[in-house]
Amino acid sequence: MPNMSQKKNPMPVQDPLVRARNFEEVALGYGEATALDEAARCLNCKNMPCVSGCPVNIRIPAFIAKVREGDFEGAYRIITESSSLPAVCGRVCPQETQCESKCVRGIKGEPVGIGRLERFVADWHNEHASAAPERPAPNGHRVAVVGSGPSGLSCAGDLAKRGYAVTVFEALHVAGGVLMYGIPEFRLPKKIVRREIETLRGLGVDFETNVIIGKTLTVDQLFEKGFEAVFIGSGAGLPRFMGIPGEALKGVYSANEYLTRSNLMGAYREGSATPILRAKRVAVVGGGNVAMDAARTALRLGAEKVYIVYRRSMDELPARREEVEHAMEEGIDFRLLTNPVRILGYQNENDRRDPKNGFVTGIECVRMELGEPDASGRRSPVEIPDSAFTLDVDAVVMSIGTSPNPLIKSTTEGLTVNRRGGIVVEEATGLTSKPGVYAGGDAVTGAATVILAMGAGKTAAAAIHASLSDNA
Amino acid sequence: MYRITEKRSLNPTVTLMEIEAPYVAASARPGQFVILRVDEEGERIPLTVAGYDREKGTVRIIFQIVGATTSALNRKNVGDTITDFAGPLGKPTEVEGLKKVCVVGGGVGCAIALPIAEELHRLGCEVHTVIGFRSKDLLILEKEFAAASDRLAVMTDDGSAGRQGVVTVPLGEWLEAGENYDEIITIGPLIMMKFVVATAKPYNVPTVVSMNPIMIDGTGMCGGCRLTVGGETKFACVDGPDFDGYLIDFDEAMSRSTMYRDFEAVRREEECNLFRGNE
C-beta atoms of B223 and A238 within 8 A: yes
Min CA distance, A408 vs chain B (Å)? Answer: 11
Å from A275 to nearest chain B CA?
Answer: 7
Task: Report the mean per-residue pLDDT for chain A.
Answer: 93
Q: Is the pLDDT of residue A177 over 50?
A: yes
B23 → closest Cβ in A216, A405, A406: A216
Q: Count the neighbouring beta carbons within 10 Å of the beta carbon of residue A78.
A: 21
Please answer yes or no on whether A173 and B43 come within 8 Å at the CB atom: no
Cα-based distances in Å from A242 to A248, A376, A401, B96, B224: 11, 21, 10, 36, 15
Whether A60 contacts A50, CB under 8 Å:
yes
- pLDDT digits over B153-185, tens only? 999 999 999 999 999 999 999 999 999 999 999
When CB atoms are compared, the residue of B41, B88, B220 closest to A273 is B41
Q: Is the pLDDT of residue A446 over 60?
A: yes
pLDDT at A367: 97
- Position A397 pLDDT exceeds 90: yes
CB atoms B23 and A173 under 8 Å:
no
Q: Is pLDDT above 70 for A471?
A: no
Give CA–CA dist A153/A85, Å, rounded: 8
Residue of B nearest to A177 (CA): B221
**Closest chain A C-alpha to B250 CA, distance in angstroms:** 12
Task: Calculate how close chain A gets to B263, using CA atoms only, in Å.
Answer: 7
Residues in CB range of A405: below 8 A, 6 or more apart:
A234, A235, A236, A237, A238, A443, B219, B220, B221, B238
Report whether pLDDT(A378) > 90.
no
Nearest CA in chain B to A246: B252
- Predicted local distance difference test score (pLDDT) of residue B275: 60
Average pLDDT over residues A22-31: 95
Residues of A in contact with B67 (CB under 8 A): none
Sign of CA dihedral B265, B111, B194, B159: positive
Which 3-state string (H, E, C) describes chain A?
CCCCCCCCCCCCECCHHHHCCCCCCCECCCCHHHHHHHHCCCCCCCCCHHHHCCCCCCCHHHHHHHHHHCCHHHHHHHHHHHCCCHHHHHHHCCHHHCHHHHCHHHCCCCCCCHHHHHHHHHHHHHHHCCCCCCCCCCCCCEEEEECCCHHHHHHHHHHHHCCCEEEEECCCCCCCCHHHHCCCCCCCCHHHHHHHHHHHHHCCCEEECCCCECCCECHHHHHHCCCCEEEECCCCEEECCCCCCCCCCECEEEHHHHHHHHHHCCCCCCCCCCCCCCCCEEEEECCCHHHHHHHHHHHHCCCCEEEEECCCCCCCCCCCHHHHHHHHHCCCEEECCEEEEEEEECCCCCCCCCCCCCEEEEEEEEEEEEEEECCCCCEEEEECCCCCEEEECCEEEECCCEEECHHHHCCCCCCCECCCCCECCCCCCCECCCCCEEECCHHHHCCCCHHHHHHHHHHHHHHHHHHHHHHC
Q: Which pLDDT does position B67 carry in this prediction? A: 86
The mean pLDDT of chain B is 93
Contact B221 A181 (CB under 8 A): yes
User: Which residues on A lie below 8 Å from B223 (Cβ)?
Assistant: 238-239, 241, 253-254, 256-257
Residue from the list B23, B228, B267 with its beta carbon closest to the beta carbon of A248 = B228
Chain B positions touching A254 (Cβ under 8 A) are 222-224
Q: Check residue A372 and give its pLDDT.
A: 83
Residue of chain A with shortest Cα separation from B254: A358
Interchain contact, A358 vs B256, CB within 8 Å? yes
Residue B174 Cα distances to A12, B4, B145, B246, angstroms: 74, 41, 18, 20
For residue B66, name the pLDDT band (cuts at 50, 70, 90): confident
Q: How wide is the angle at C-alpha A234 spanned by C-alphas A231 and A235, nearest 5°?
A: 130
pLDDT band at A271, cuts 50/70/90? confident
Between CA B194 and CA B254 the distance in angstroms is 10
pLDDT digits (tens, 9 = 90+) for B181-208: 999 999 999 999 999 999 999 999 999 9
Q: Which residue of B has its CA nearest to A274?
A: B43
Q: CA-CA distance, A423 to B115, in Å (whole number)?
A: 36
CB within 8 Å of B95: residues ≥ 6 apart: B30, B116, B119, B120, B123, B125
Check residue B126 and give its pLDDT.
96
Q: Is the pLDDT higher at A341 or at A269? A: A341
Judge whether B44 is closer than 8 Å to chain A, CB to CB: yes
Give the pLDDT confidence of B12-51 residue by residue, as tens digits.
Answer: 899 999 999 999 999 999 999 999 999 998 999 999 999 9
Angstrom distance (rounded) from CA B103 to CA B114: 9
pLDDT band at residue A9 using 50, 70 and 90 as cut-offs: very high
In this prediction, residues A102-116 reach a mean pLDDT of 95
Q: What is the mean pLDDT of residues A40-63?
A: 94
Q: B274: pLDDT confidence band, cut at 50, 70 and 90?
A: low
Whether residue A261 and residue B216 make contact (CB cut-off 8 A), yes or no, is yes
Is there a contact between B223 and A241 if contact means CB atoms under 8 Å apart? yes
The mean pLDDT of A287-291, rounded to a whole number, is 96
Taking an 8 Å cut-off on Cβ atoms, the answer to whether A173 and B226 are in contact is no
Question: What pLDDT is stored for residue B278 in this prediction?
Answer: 45
Q: Are A408 and A415 in contact (CB under 8 A)?
A: yes
Is it the case that residue B266 has pLDDT exceeding 90? no
Residues of chain B in contact with residue A261, where contact means CB-CB under 8 angstroms, are 216
CB contact under 8 A, A407 and B260: no
| Average pLDDT of the segment spanning B224-250 | 95
CB-based contact A274 B216, cutoff 8 Å: yes
B226 touches chain A (CB under 8 A): yes
How far B212 CA sits from the closest chain A CA (Å)?
Answer: 16
Proportion of chain A above pLDDT 70, given as a percent: 99
Return the pLDDT at A129.
Answer: 81
Interface test with A, best of B222, B229, B252 (most A CBs within 10 A): B222
Q: What is the mean pLDDT of residues A384-392?
A: 97
Mean pLDDT of B266-271: 75
The answer to whether B233 contacts A358, with C-beta atoms less than 8 Å apart, is no
The answer to whether residue B11 scores a pLDDT higher than 80 is yes
Give CA–CA dist B73/B38, Å, rounded: 6
Closest partner residue to A172 (CB to CB) among B27, B217, B228 is B217
**Closest CB from B83, B222, B258 relative to A260:** B222
Q: What is the 3-state secondary structure (H, E, C) of chain B?
A: CEEEEEEEEEECCEEEEEEECHHHHHHCCCCCEEEEECCCCCCCEEEEEEEEECCCCEEEEEEECCCHHHHHHHCCCCCCEECEEEEEECCCCCCCCCCEEEEEEEHHHHHHHHHHHHHHHHCCCEEEEEEEECCHHHCCCHHHHHHHCCEEEEEECCCCCCEECCCHHHHHHHHHCCCCCCEEEEECCHHHHHHHHHHHHHHCCCEEEECCCCCCCCCCCCCCCEEEECCEEEEHHHHCCEEEHHHECHHHHHHHCCCCHHHHHHHHHHHHHHHHHHC
- CA distances for A167 relative to A228, A437, A466, angstroms: 12, 15, 19
> Using a CB-CB distance cutoff of 8 angstroms, which residues of chain B are in contact with residue A251?
259
| Mean pLDDT of all residues in A401-428 | 90
Q: What is the pLDDT of residue A470?
A: 67
Neighbours of B249 (CB within 10 A): 16
Q: Where does the pLDDT of residue B250 fall: very low under 50, low under 70, confident under 90, or very high at 90 and above? A: very high
B96-135 pLDDT per residue, tens: 899 999 999 999 999 989 999 999 999 999 999 999 999 9
Segment A452-458 shows an average pLDDT of: 92
- Could you tell me how many residues make up chain A? 472
Q: Which residues pair with A334 in a beta bridge?
A: A308
For B219, the closest of A243, A275, A407 (CB atoms) is A407
b/e code B232-245 from CB counts within 10 Å (16+ = b): ebbbbbbbbbbbeb
Q: Which of residues 62-81 of B touch A (CB under 8 A)?
A: 68-69
Asked whether the predicted pLDDT for residue B57 surpasses 90, the reply is yes
Of A193, A204, A87, A79, which is closest to residue A135 (Cα–Cα)?
Answer: A204
